[in-house]
Amino acid sequence: MSFEFKRMLMVKEQLQGRDVKDKRVLDAFLNVPRELFVLEEYKDRAYDDSPLPIGYGQTISQPYMVAKMTELLDLNEDDILLEIGTGSGYQAAIASRLCKHVYTVEIIPELVDFAKSNLKKAGIKNVTVILGDGSVGLKDYAPYDKIIITAATESVPEELFEQLKVGGYLVVPEGDRFTQWLKRYIKLEEGKIVSEDYSACVFVPLRGKKGFK
């Protein structure tokens, strides 16, 4: 079975077959070759309905989870997105098709190189991968229209709300080390933030200054 066919099946069964409805999100998945974002030894499993190891104890997230989080971001073509936790670069690649620019921060140097090389192979130019501790956000290009944290956090570090525009969304798996709840925060005005709860999920923990101790 070709990668292209497996990609189509993944979109139909794992995304549409569940509750992913946003056509722009589905199109993005059809246009980003996931096999370019996994380790060589996992290429034949690139379209499995599960996360996969990318080394250093980290994972590329399950396609459905990437889709659900992307849908919750409700990206517009002029949006600037901040991602914390680049990993393989796949989530950034998907988001890059739906917004103007993605800044993505990764704490493990080897994964910064992995993601940069994967994004280059995929021909994606509107993603900037930055080595650093994203638990305190990324002041340099703030404020952001949307923020996504792709590692588990006990609570969202204050710096990230500060770096989000009024009217912006922040999507995050929040909970303890073992299970989290997928949440979307909306910044209504300075100091006023509301949240919505979605589904249970499991992510690797956020590290760094404001990460898990």
Decide: is 58 part of the binding site for ligand SAM (CB under 6 A).
Answer: yes
Minimum distance from CB of 112 to ligand SAM (Å)? 9
CB 126, CB 100: distance < 8 Å = yes
Minimum distance from CB of 2 to ligand SAM (Å)? 23
DSSP state, residue 16: I
Q: Which residue among the candidates 50, 61, 195, 199 is catalytic per the annotation?
A: 61
Decide: is 107 part of the binding site for ligand SAM (CB under 6 A).
Answer: yes
Half-sphere exposure of 183 (CA within 13 A, CB side): 19
What is the Cα–Cα distance from 64 to 71, expressed in whole angstroms? 10
- Binding mask 162-181 toward ligand SAM (x if CB under 6 A, else -) reads --------------------
CB 29, CB 6: distance < 8 Å = no
Decide: is 201 part of the binding site for ligand SAM (CB under 6 A).
Answer: no
Decide: is 63 part of the binding site for ligand SAM (CB under 6 A).
Answer: no
Total interface residues for ligand SAM by CB under 6 A:
26
In which region does residue 20 sit, left (phi positive, over 0), alpha (psi from -120 to 50) or beta (all else)? beta
Residues tagged active-site: 61
